[in-house]
Structure 1
């Protein structure tokens, strides 16, 4: 996972360091998958191929990377089209947490079946947290009169996914701290945006009723 001294990581015994790295990869990839499952999977595969971290071998398989790449390309386009992105997000309310759970099981699977199950649950919940913030942000962006940009939001999200996966591989301690902050911020943002979206939708319905 990189040189701990060079990346500012404290020196830990081998077992403790391995646990830290696994936890960071699990948390980072899980939350990132809630924004873009396919990019997170592709990033892990690329990192594994290039030797940037201890990535499960199954994620570096050519067929897995091709499927992830094709689906990422589709989402890259769909995610930037107003209202179509809402449909995509609605479908992925189930896909992202389940996919993140699969990633979590793979990342934690070397420990035991219990570890794999725990990894799947944690990653799935983290993905649901991120997905909730993403989906509600898009609903508000598509119903608000303010000049939100779907393209800008999508690009920021993709950049965030790439950076979070890279951080999980490069500096596990910092990655865990960042994920903790993101979880709290995303939960608060989701609740606030959900209320805002409901108000905006009421305005839209009243406007159509008056036409």
Structure 2
């Protein structure tokens, strides 16, 4: 596996960890345990994800996140708490994917993985904050369900097709930037409208 494929996988997994950290850990560990995800020799550090304790804790976290993320405003509280957790998790996942024999690459992967996870987390949290302004709970449930399915599907694609992982990472990054810009525009429109009404 070449450096571009490794960077693509690390980027994709880090970005997805910003959405669903626990699900990424659990799904990767399960795929490895079921031997659906053959791990190259230089990715042996990922084997820790198939440890029963790691998988169990990740499963509990993924289940809690699944339900918390469907409830209006509880999802925003969950996201606020995980502002500190997801970037670290994304950085550690990226670190586990790169060659452990190259300290420079490890530092770069850690920094970029953490940054990518934080960016996607910020995009998700901002978009969900905007969705929460809707008075009905259906949109919240629908958006959360799409995120669940997208995370599993994109994670599978990133691992199964390493050559496409870089493209997946770029699409996820573009989506993150779009969500941040959309949330910013909506928030400015809401705040601007509120000021006009007070004048």
- The Cα shift of 1:190 comes to 0.5
**Distance across 1 between alignment mates of 2:83 and 2:161:** 29
Alignment-derived partner of residue 53 in structure 1:
38
Among candidates 67, 71, 94, match of residue 81 of structure 1: 71
Residue of structure 1 in register with 2:53 after alignment: 63
Counterpart in the other structure of 2:160: 170
Structure 2: gaps spanning 5 or more residues: none
1:72 counterpart = 2:62: yes
Aligned partner of 2:12 in structure 1 is 28
| 8 A contact 1:136–1:197 mirrored in 2 | no
Equivalents in 1 of 2:5, 2:27: separation in Å? 16
Aligned to 1:10: none
Please give the root-mean-square deviation of Cα atoms over the aligned residues, in Å. Answer: 2.4
TM-score, with normalisation over the residues of structure 1? 0.81
Residue 21 of structure 1: CA displacement?
3.9
Q: Does 1:43 align with 2:33?
A: no
* TM-score scaled by length of structure 2: 0.86
Query: Which portions of structure 1, spanning 4 or more consecutive aligned residues, are displaced by more than 3 angstroms?
Result: 144-148, 198-207
* Equivalent pairs, count: 192
Instruction: String of CA shifts for 1:73-115, please: whole Å, max 9, x gaps.
Output: 1111100000111111111122111111111112225232322
Residues 136, 193 of structure 1: 8 Å contact kept = yes
CA contact (8 A) 1:53 1:169 kept: no
Q: Following TM superposition, by how much is the alpha carbon of 1:138 offset from its aligned partner in structure 2, in angstroms?
A: 0.7
Aligned CA distance change for structure 1 residues 111 and 206 (closer, same or farther; 3 Å): farther
1:110 to 86, 89, 100: 100
Structure 1 unpaired stretches of 5+? 1-16
Q: After superposition, where does 1:152-171 map in structure 2 within 5 Å? A: 152-171=142-161
